[in-house]
Amino acid sequence: MTDVQEKDNLWLIVGGCIIAMIAIVIFLRGEKSEHLKSGAVAQLQAETFANLEKRKTSNNATEDQKAGK
């Protein structure tokens, strides 16, 4: 009787996992800057800097204003 060897699929599974991971990384790299295209980040930055400027100018009151004159 001849011995039938069982085919070892371990390397196919490992190779498939590596290829899947590479595909996921490539997909996620393409998606990481999608939120920048909407303009929401630029709008939020503009609002933030405007609020900071308002706060800065309100903190720079003159001595007469601080004294209540």
Span 35-59, pLDDT tens digits: 666 777 778 888 898 888 887 776 6
Inter-residue contact 41 to 35 (CB < 8 Å):
yes
pTM attached to this predicted model: 0.43
Span 5-21, pLDDT tens digits: 777 889 899 999 999 99
Inter-residue contact 34 to 28 (CB < 8 Å):
no
Taking CA atoms, 29 is separated from 7, 22, 37, 66, in Å, by: 37, 11, 15, 53
* Mean pLDDT in residue range 20-34: 86
Is residue 25 scored above 90 in pLDDT?
Answer: yes
Sign of torsion, CA 47 48 49 55? positive
